[in-house]
A and B are shown apart, each in its own frame.
Chain A
Amino acid sequence: MTFLMAFNPFLIIISLFGSVLGIIWAALPGLSASMVMALLIGLTYKMSIEVVIAFMLGVFTATQFGGSISAILINIPGTPSAIPTQLAGNPLAKKGQGGLAIGMALISSMIGNLVGLLALALIAPLIIQFALKFSSWEIGLLALWGVAISGTLTASDEMPIKGWISGWLGLIIAMVGRDTIFAVERLTFGNINLENGIPYVSVLIGLFGMSEIFVTLPSKQKTGIPTEVGKVFPPIKMVLKYWKSIFRSSIIGLITGIMPGAGGNVGSFVAYGVGERMTKRRFADGDIEGVVCSEVANNANIGGALLPGLTLGIPGSAPVASFMAALALHGVHSGPMIDRGNPGILSFIYGALFVANIWMLVTGFLLIKPSIKAFSLPIATFFPLIGLLCIIGAFAAQNSIFDVYLMVGFGFVGVLLRKAGISIGPMILGVILGGLVDTNIRRTLQIYGNRPFYQLLINRPIGTALIVIILLTFFFTIRKNIKFQRTFKK
């Protein structure tokens, strides 16, 4: 695979389909990027790896922008990351500048994407060089830190410990099945279907797809009547005027993307907040700059989230976790060895991202007006259809009805977790990284035999640094928890 292969006419058309699907999907209220990416894992199983990459990146890129259409025009964010865009953009729509706000959101999304892509292409080789020095000890600890930091970042401010609980439950789910060293059955309850473990495709689709249906379908959500769009293309002067916000938000989006679990939502919120402080203006009264901050960060996040996902095997966000899962189903395992096992795949991914970005811009402008029609669709008509897709997607990975049972079961678990205020994301990371944690840490301890543990700490300084980082992550989160309780008491 090469960079130029992404410009193959067939793959360009596939990417176009992905973009169209992504924009329409994200424009529909309640349908998130995480959901569509989880669904596509199973549905793209029979496709070739090139088609999967082109299609999924087309969808992923477009969904990051698509959520802003409904956010600006009908005051309902298509995706959670579009909430800041909604705050700054909807008042503009009420003033008749909705089209302009969407146009700026689209241009900002494209710029954010390009920054993310550039960072990915420049930094990924450096991280890979560094990560190649990792032994099983460091890989295991890094995976554990990924789950821990994801728990910290995604938990609510009230109970940060809930994020860890979610991650730990994911790690426990990953223990199900025969262990990789002695082939001893763990938590299989004598069920032959569980001997190979719980497939993460079922977990992903269940937690992100099915549980979303169980939560949104009964909610009686109704969409409003779309407002007039007006002028869509923003003047270049306007784009150049916000260069400071674009630069600042790109960096914020990139950094939050790299942090495991943080994802586009955190990026767009932080960029919006920082933007308000820097400009000393209230974006919620309707401000193009607020839209710019939110959308640039949201999209710079894609490259950022792909960076640790592709180079270290630790996904930066839920959609990237799904993308990695889809790659794994096609025999491409993310991590430092990705480019050695599949020469040129990283370059191809950069190319596919670039093509997806161009399509997002083109289809974005073309689909703004037609996608408004989708707002009039009642949720009760299209959510059950997505339910069918969830079932087909879960079945497709292994042609197993047991996987469908698992998926529906995890959908139910997702509902319970949401009711308990426990975020789902860390659990997904736990399920994906659990095998890495278990096998690598045990393997290292086996190699070290009966030697004292401090020798391991001295001989593997990177591992020791990771242990310190993990402990610090726990320390700061516990401190945050104690602080909250004190505030609540007052």
Chain B
Amino acid sequence: MHKDIYMALPNKSGPVSELDMVDDKKPIINPKTDIITAVTLMGLCVYLFFHALSLPRPDNTWRRAPGGMLLVLAVTLFFMALSLLISALKLYKINKTKDKNNTIEKQQKVKNTILTPFNIRQIIAIAITFFYVFIFLERMYFEFASILYLFAIIKIFWKEGTLLKILLISILTPIVFSIIFTVLFNQGLPGGSLLSDLIFLLSKGGA
């Protein structure tokens, strides 16, 4: 395959697939990330192993025990994680010998890869969404919660947008969505819909 394909995919050395959604912004060969991933997975496998063992075995056999498949998966995943760990440690060792930077520079490098502007913006986006879903939608109508969410997220990420434009998008979108889903599709909305409650009250009043 032509090398230009690889150039178009900065951090991949092979073709991506429809199912492959690896973030282009992070290098794939990152032994440190792999070590953390492998250790986390091994911890998960240990938990799953004991959970599978704790499940009842109606026939006193593993053949059709509810935890049987889980046990097999936990053990095989453990070995996969172990293989990842060994590979990552080998790569880490190679990288380390190549890396001649002093400790201060290394620490700075680590700090820079964690607190990049992209990562900070990403944490903000995730935090706002979590706030919206776990707090706002629990306490407010979908329309109000969504207006607040959209306003916050668009205001932060759309630097060129004027306040009027941001307000218009934030207010109109939840209202339009509410009309489409509650009136046209007769579909409930998370947090409840003010519009459908109003329609219900009006129809009751009319009756």
- Check A218–B56 contact: CB distance below 8 A: no
Q: A46-B186, A159-B28, A446-B63 are in contact. Are A218 and B21 (CB under 8 A)?
A: no
Q: A186-B67, A186-B70, A420-B34 are in contact. Are A380 and B158 (CB under 8 A)?
A: yes
User: Complex: how many Å from CA A17 to CA B1?
Assistant: 37
Residues of chain B with a CB closer than 8 A to A153's CB: 17, 19
Name the residue of chain A whose CB is nearest to the CB of B94.
Answer: A489
- Check A421–B30 contact: CB distance below 8 A: yes
- Check A381–B55 contact: CB distance below 8 A: no
- Check B149–A384 contact: CB distance below 8 A: yes
| Interface residue? B23 (CB, 8 A) | yes
Chain B positions 1 through 39: 1 when the CB is less than 8 Å from some CB of chain A, otherwise 0: 110110011001111111111110110111001101100
Residues of chain A with a CB closer than 8 A to B83's CB: 161, 481
- Check A184–B66 contact: CB distance below 8 A: yes
Q: A46-B187, A385-B173 are in contact. Are A284 and B125 (CB under 8 A)?
A: no
Please tell me the size bucket of the interface on B.
Answer: 35 or more
Nearest CB on B from A169, distance (A):
8
| Interface residue? B171 (CB, 8 A) | no
Nearest CB on A from B117, distance (A):
8
Nearest CB on B from A137, distance (A):
13
Name the residue of chain A whose CB is nearest to the CB of B186.
Answer: A46
Chain A positions 405 through 422: 1 when the CB is less than 8 Å from some CB of chain B, otherwise 0: 100100110110011111
User: Complex: how many Å from CA A233 to CA B42?
Assistant: 57
User: Complex: how many Å from CA A208 to CA B28?
Assistant: 19
Nearest CB on B from A403, distance (A):
9
Residues of chain B with a CB closer than 8 A to A342's CB: none
Contacting B at CB under 8 A, from A153-196, are 153-159, 161-162, 164-165, 168-169, 171-172, 175, 179, 181-182, 184, 186-187
User: Complex: how many Å from CA A429 to CA B19?
Assistant: 10
Quick check: which of A5-13, A98-106, A270-278, A351-359 contacts chain B, the rest being far away?
A270-278
User: Complex: how many Å from CA A217 to CA B158?
Assistant: 10
- From B4, B15, B23, B34, name the one whose CB has the most chain A CB atoms within 10 angstroms: B15
Contacting A at CB under 8 A, from B63-99, are 63-64, 66-70, 73-74, 76-77, 80-81, 83-84, 87, 90-91, 94
Q: A219-B25, A385-B173, A423-B22 are in contact. Are A442 and B51 (CB under 8 A)?
A: no
Q: Which of A80, A283, A426, A445 contacts B2 (CB 8 A)?
A: A283
Main secondary structure of the interface of A (DSSP, over half): helix
- Check A418–B69 contact: CB distance below 8 A: no
Quick check: which of A115-123, A323-331, A387-395 contacts chain B, the rest being far away?
A387-395
- Check B177–A378 contact: CB distance below 8 A: no
Residues of chain B with a CB closer than 8 A to A414's CB: 21
Residues of chain A with a CB closer than 8 A to B90's CB: 485, 489
Nearest CB on B from A383, distance (A):
8
Nearest CB on B from A161, distance (A):
5
- Check B188–A168 contact: CB distance below 8 A: no
- Check B185–A446 contact: CB distance below 8 A: no
Nearest CB on B from A271, distance (A):
10
User: Complex: how many Å from CA A259 to CA B9?
Assistant: 23
User: Complex: how many Å from CA A179 to CA B84?
Assistant: 30
- Check B4–A442 contact: CB distance below 8 A: no
User: Complex: how many Å from CA A420 to CA B76?
Assistant: 20
Name the residue of chain A whose CB is nearest to the CB of B56.
Answer: A184
Q: Which of B17, B33, B150 contacts A420 (CB 8 A)?
A: B33
Residues of chain B with a CB closer than 8 A to A449's CB: 63
Task: Give 19 A-B contacts (CB < 8 Å), ordered by A residue.
Answer: A156-B13, A158-B29, A161-B87, A175-B73, A179-B66, A186-B51, A214-B129, A266-B18, A272-B2, A318-B18, A381-B154, A381-B158, A385-B150, A387-B129, A392-B181, A404-B137, A420-B37, A425-B17, A445-B64
Q: Can you name 17 extra interface pairs (CB under 8 A) apart from A83-B16, A408-B133? A: A84-B5, A87-B4, A156-B14, A159-B28, A168-B76, A218-B125, A261-B19, A269-B1, A270-B1, A378-B160, A387-B129, A401-B190, A404-B137, A418-B22, A418-B26, A419-B23, A423-B20
